[in-house]
Structure 1
């Protein structure tokens, strides 16, 4: 776990990495809210925006998974590889028949990020995100999109709260102590 009292000297790569990670979290929040509106069925014309929402979710996963700062290489790999598998599944599902599966892998990534952040920085509601995202995937699998839209939106709000809290923190909070990372 990162020690916020430790202030590591960050180089340019570290700063870009932290900003991409935080940008991925922010984009994921907005993307979930966008997807929730689309899934709700409030406006039928928004169904054509479904691929755009999925693309934004995939980009947010790539940003965050590619730049996640976790000391344990096993945990870091599990978080990252879930995103890459989800993105590949999404790209191979042009008809959106199994989108619940690709979202499930991406949601594993952001569940890991939510748990990581909840242990490090005590942001309210983050420990609920993995359960809410898992419920969302289940509801999408059984084709209950309107109910899923509520939980997707709720996750988006909680992750949005995390995003705001993250951008208020100094960048070195995300890196922690570089000497503690397993390579």
Structure 2
């Protein structure tokens, strides 16, 4: 958690990693909303989805990868769990996106949940601490083919992540880095 009284000197790599992390959070919000809308449009035949289901999965994979590759967490163990779950989700997505969509989403959900819990220490965004439960419901709903439940939970998660993204873009860049000496390498 960042200390507002302390301002770390950021190099170009630090600035780039913070910006990519924030872009990843923003893309997670957009991909959750697009996926949720896709599931609703599939079930209720509302209208054609904006993006295909496969494209939505790729956007989610890219956004989770941006977050996982640029996350700033002091604890090495927590950083590894959040990051490696995305890499495993990418492998599941590449192996068979149609058969194991719930499994790959489950690993991306670990990353999104870890980020939400990490950010809940800094922000009082409504719903951040409930994000793991919402995303577990999405994984269960996808496994059971309850697309309307998955769509609802994804749209609600998108709103929470959008509020987080707005809060992140408003704060100074050095808040994401914190104190460099505290990182476990």
Going from structure 1 to structure 2, the CA distance change for 1:97 and 1:47 (only over 3 Å counts) comes to farther
The aligned residue for residue 48 of structure 2 is 45
3-state SS of paired residue (1:120): coil
CA distance in 1, matches of 2:126, 2:63: 22
The aligned residue for residue 176 of structure 1 is 178
Q: Do structure 1's residue 92 and structure 2's residue 58 form an aligned pair? A: no
The aligned residue for residue 18 of structure 1 is 18
Alpha-carbon shift at residue 47 of structure 1 (Å): 8.6
Superposed structure 1 runs of 4+ greater than 4 Å apart: none
Higher alpha-carbon deviation: 119-128 or 30-39: 119-128
* TM-score between the two structures when normalised by the length of structure 2: 0.94
CA distance in 2, matches of 1:134, 1:58: 17
- In structure 2, list runs of 5 or more residues that go unmatched: none
Going from structure 1 to structure 2, the CA distance change for 1:165 and 1:89 (only over 3 Å counts) comes to same
The aligned residue for residue 130 of structure 2 is 128
CA distance in 2, matches of 1:124, 1:5: 26
Going from structure 1 to structure 2, the CA distance change for 1:170 and 1:142 (only over 3 Å counts) comes to same
CA distance in 2, matches of 1:158, 1:121: 12
Match of 1:158 among 154, 157, 160: 160
Match of 2:142 among 130, 140, 143: 140
Aligned residues: 182
- In structure 1, list runs of 5 or more residues that go unmatched: none
CA distance in 2, matches of 1:124, 1:25: 16
Alpha-carbon shift at residue 44 of structure 1 (Å): 5.7
* TM-score between the two structures when normalised by the length of structure 1: 0.95
Higher alpha-carbon deviation: 76-85 or 115-124: 115-124
CA distance in 2, matches of 1:114, 1:16: 21
CA distance in 2, matches of 1:72, 1:179: 12
Going from structure 1 to structure 2, the CA distance change for 1:138 and 1:47 (only over 3 Å counts) comes to farther
The aligned residue for residue 6 of structure 1 is 6
